């Protein structure tokens, strides 16, 4: 795998009135297309060894054969499909809002109750849209001291 660029940005704006807070926010995540690099071998053949292969010994494809029939001669580069290991570029954006209320118990502590909702929007291939687009709800209970 080759290194890829990723970016995450979060923005939040809120209004507070006494112990009530109303906030709106966005969270954006962008990821560059991930590429798979294939190591080059001398003859372009990739060999698979059995799980019990002793890694202290040099590997010889003629002596150490995989127990699965047809694989012992190795896998040619043209038989490998690297597209299945590649992650496409996509952008996922979440928009959300929440309301919180703080209840002052005494001078030493307070209780915070919050509730919110949001929506995730995926910008990318259809497969990423199926994964990324959804509604979400949450509640929070906190103790501040």
The answer to whether 113 and 101 are in contact (CB under 8 A) is yes
pLDDT per residue of the chain (145 residues) written in tens, 0 to 9: 556 788 999 999 999 998 899 999 999 988 888 777 777 766 666 665 555 556 666 656 666 554 444 445 566 677 777 777 777 777 888 999 999 999 888 777 889 899 999 998 887 766 555 666 788 898 999 988 7
Measure the CA–CA gap between 70 and 92, rounded to whole angstroms. Answer: 43
CA Rg value for the chain: 27
DSSP 79: G
């Amino acid at each position: 795998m080759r290194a890829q660029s990723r970016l995450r940005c979060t923005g939040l704006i809120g209004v507070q009135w006494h112990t009530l807070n109303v906030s709106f926010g966005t969270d954006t995540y962008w990821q560059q297309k991930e590429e798979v690099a294939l190591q080059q071998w001398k003859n372009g053949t990739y060999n698979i060894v059995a799980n019990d292969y002793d890694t202290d010994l040099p590997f010889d494809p003629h002596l150490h054969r995989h127990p699965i029939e047809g694989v012992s001669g190795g896998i040619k580069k043209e038989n490998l499909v690297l597209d299945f290991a590649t992650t496409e570029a996509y952008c996922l954006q979440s928009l959300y809002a929440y309301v919180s209320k703080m209840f002052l118990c005494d001078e030493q502590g307070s209780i915070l109750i919050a509730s919110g909702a949001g929506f995730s929007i995926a910008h990318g291939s259809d497969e990423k849209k199926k994964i990324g687009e959804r509604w979400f709800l949450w509640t929070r209970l906190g103790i501040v001291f």
